[in-house]
Amino acid sequence: MRNIYVNGCSFSKGHKELRDRDGKPWPAYFQEDNVINDSMDGGSSFRSLRMCMQRIFEDMPIDIMICQLTSPDRGEVFLNEKEFVRWHEPMYIAYMPHRYIHKEHQLEVLKREGFNRRQENFKYFNEKGESIEDKYYHKFKIFNDTMLTNSKDRELHIIGLCNNLKLLCEAKGIKLLFTAMSERCIPNVEHITPYFTKPMSHIVGEQGPFVESETDFHPNEAGHEKIYRYILSELEKL
């Protein structure tokens, strides 16, 4: 039995509508292996790469690591303010354009700290009417001014993290496979791109029988099974 570690966004976790139907994301098809799927809705490439390296540093038993990159305009901001030090792990807020995403266990902490979600704009506010973005404005501003507006710096950062992960896996004897949500998520670097599979959007298409709808190109059940079969064939080449 192989130990397979996966990290990515909803294309690897399975988006909410799929989970509501008890559908399986592609990592769940590795039924004869021990699979840890740390993927997160709205997760960024920065998170995927950070978590992959973190699990290696934690000496998690891993034979195969599959790191899925996603939209390059996503990111995350680290919050180390004292309100969150009760945590046993660092507090990260994931950033997508126009909204912030939180892990389920983070939501409970945010609620205890007085932040409540307003559905209409995906933001969280405390009793003073401050949003998380307001309270930690300086951190989000730094992120927006650097990682979001400077695409070249963002790409260089992702390339550096990909290379670091590649070197770590080589040193630990871990077979590494990169995959991506779409073609624009793949950094164009000669010594890294051979580790990438065909983008998921190329495997399932952006319309047709393997995606949710004409306006939602998340893979459906058939799409996830197709992605699994393709990735399985790529793993056999390693």
Q: Which helix (H) or strand (E) holds 73?
A: none
Phi-psi sector, 131: left (phi>0), alpha (psi -120 to 50), beta: beta
H/E element holding 58?
none
Average pLDDT score over residue span 85-113: 51
pTM score, whole prediction: 0.77
Per the listing, tokens 């799409």 go with: 223
Handedness of CA 92, 96, 97, 98 (dihedral sign): negative
Tokens 């509508």 sit at which residue?
Answer: 17
Looking at residue 139, its pLDDT comes to: 55
Question: Per-residue pLDDT tens for 198-232?
Answer: 889 889 988 889 988 888 889 999 999 999 999 99
What's the token pair of residue 8?
């990515």
Q: Which CATH superfamily is domain 3-73+152-235 in?
A: SGNH hydrolase (3.40.50.1110)
- Cβ atoms of 64 and 3 within 8 Å: the answer is yes
pLDDT band at 115 (very low <50, low <70, confident <90, very high): low
Sign of the CA dihedral with 80 first, then 86, 87, and 92 last: negative
CB neighbourhood size of 190 (10 A):
6
Sequence ranges of the domains in the chain: 3-73+152-235, 76-148
Q: What is the pLDDT of residues 123-151, one digit of tens each?
A: 545 555 555 555 555 555 555 555 545 56
Task: List Cα–Cα distances, 212 to 17, 37, 149, in angstroms.
Answer: 9, 22, 31
Q: How far apart are CA 232 and CA 32, in angstroms?
A: 12
Q: Which of 75, 73, 5, 66 is nearest to 34 (CA)?
A: 5
Q: Could you write out the DSSP letters of every residue in 27-53?
A: GGG-TTSEEEE---TT--HHHHHHHHH
Distance between CA 142 and CA 79 in Å, rounded? 13
